[in-house]
Amino acid sequence: MPAVRHIVLITWKTDTPKPQIDEWIRICSRIPEECPMVRNWLSGPCIPGPDIDKPSTHDFGIMFDLGSDEEWERYLRHPYPDLVYNTGLDVIDLDRTASTNMRLLSQ
């Protein structure tokens, strides 16, 4: 079965202190250690481009793959992503954050 790719584009809440954001990123970055079904983890600050006059609409991005629908279901039931989400409520502007999943047609 094709893999599932999960993509999240995050916008921080206005006036959130950088140390609080950095702590959330540290906690979030542990997802691949805590959830063995997560593969190809990538995360980092969003940057402008290709048109430098148009800034990025988000502050931070996360992307990772899961090998099957079953792994996706296991990920959704795992307690660590819930911890990351609940911790993120203090720093993430949910109204300006985007999340999607896509089925990869080829790898």
d(CA 61, CA 67): 20
| Whole-prediction pTM | 0.88
Tell me what pLDDT residue 1 has: 47
Q: Which ranges of the chain would DSSP assign to H, the alpha helix?
A: 18-28, 31-34, 69-77, 79-88
Report whether 62 contacts 5 (CB < 8 A).
no
Mean pLDDT, the chain cut into blocks of 10 residues (107 residues total): 86 96 98 97 89 82 95 96 96 94 80
Q: Which domains does the chain have, with CATH numbers?
A: 4-103 (3.30.70.100)
Order of all β-strands in the sheet with 98-103? 39-45, 60-66, 4-10, 98-103
Tell me what pLDDT residue 106 has: 67
